[in-house]
Amino acid sequence: LVQYIKFLLEYTGEEYVDKLYEFGPAPDYDKSQWLKEKFEMGLELPNVIQLKFQLPYYIDGDVKLTQSVAILRHIARKHNLLAKTDADIAKADMLEYEAMDLRLNFRYVCGPDFESQKGSYIKETAEPKLAQLSSVLGSNDWFLGTNISYVDFFLYESLYCIHELTPSSFDKHENLKKFMQRFEGLERIKNYINSDRYVKSPINGPKATFGGK
């Protein structure tokens, strides 16, 4: 849950330090490298329910954030990339949750039962959602119309993950393919993708059966 934030940082020209924490080896995947710092950074809401979680975090001067969507919105707000009209704000809220649901469902299906769940996920979840998003996008360049917004960054990553699993599911949705190509063709995004800063994989955590390496 971080690539779309990095895309937004790159697109807006924000300088940032991409600090990565390493897991220990299987089967325990030791997280002590992160846990020993987690409560020492002045974060207001580090997760205390499940200690292994609460990445990413973002520190911007006096602003210290957890929760990936809060980080995304903060950066977008600074660069005028939030929705502007009441109608677009409502639509962006809806699309934001669609993107989150897509990403979380994808992560879930890529777990230990991946092989047995893959077919039903593609047929019953991925393809119906692609059809819906294709309808919402229509002939627009971006999901809120002619201007790019923060939800495009969120939706791109969710669509990218699905495309990695089942590219043929996009064959009926030329507008979604063009949306992804358009996003990847943005000058700063293209430069980032072609740089050594870009991490193409993994797209899931190390325990994932698909996309974890």
- The CATH number that applies at residue 164 is 1.20.1050.10
Q: Are residues 24 and 70 located together in one domain of the fold?
A: yes
Q: Are residues 105 and 129 located together in one domain of the fold?
A: yes
In a domain, 125, yes or no: yes
Q: Are residues 23 and 49 located together in one domain of the fold?
A: yes
In a domain, 198, yes or no: no
Tens digit of pLDDT for each residue in 128-185? 999 999 999 999 999 999 999 999 999 999 999 999 999 999 999 999 999 999 999 9
**CATH number of the domain encompassing residue 68:** 3.40.30.10
Q: Which candidate, 200, 122, 115, places its Cα nearest to that of 162?
A: 122
Average pLDDT over the chain reads 89
pLDDT at residue 30, rounded to an integer: 60
What is the pTM for the complete model shown? 0.87
Q: Are residues 96 and 181 located together in one domain of the fold?
A: yes
In a domain, 148, yes or no: yes
pLDDT at residue 51, rounded to an integer: 43
In a domain, 112, yes or no: yes
Q: Are residues 13 and 61 located together in one domain of the fold?
A: yes
Q: Are residues 52 and 112 located together in one domain of the fold?
A: no
Counted domains in the chain? 2
Q: Are residues 125 and 70 located together in one domain of the fold?
A: no
Q: Are residues 180 and 101 located together in one domain of the fold?
A: yes
Burial class for 187, CB neighbours closer than 10 Å (0-12, 13-18, 19+): exposed
Within 13 Å and on the Cβ side, how many CA atoms surround 50? 4
pLDDT at residue 204, rounded to an integer: 77
Q: In whole angstroms, how far apart are CA 129 and each of 7, 123, 160?
A: 23, 10, 13
Q: Mark which of 17, 46, 78 sits at the end of a domain.
A: 78
Q: Are residues 110 and 180 located together in one domain of the fold?
A: yes
Report DSSP letters for the chain, one per residue: --HHHHHHHHHHT-----------STTT---HHHHHHHTTS--S----SSTT----EEEETTEEEESHHHHHHHHHHHTT-S--SHHHHHHHHHHHHHHHHHHHHHHHHTSTTHHHHHHHHIIIIIHHHHHHHHHHHTT-SBTTBSS--HHHHHHHHHHHHHHHH-GGGGTT-HHHHHHHHHHHHSHHHHHHHTSTT------S-TT-SSS--
In a domain, 192, yes or no: no
In a domain, 173, yes or no: yes
Q: Are residues 103 and 52 located together in one domain of the fold?
A: no
Q: Can you tell me the distance from the alpha carbon of 50 to that of 114, in angstroms, rounded to the nearest whole number?
A: 24
In a domain, 51, yes or no: yes
Q: Mark which of 52, 78, 104 sits at the end of a domain.
A: 78
Show the domain range for 134: 86-186
Q: Are residues 155 and 134 located together in one domain of the fold?
A: yes
In a domain, 194, yes or no: no
Tens digit of pLDDT for each residue in 19-68? 765 665 666 566 666 666 766 676 776 765 444 444 688 999 999 998 89
Q: Are residues 66 and 142 located together in one domain of the fold?
A: no
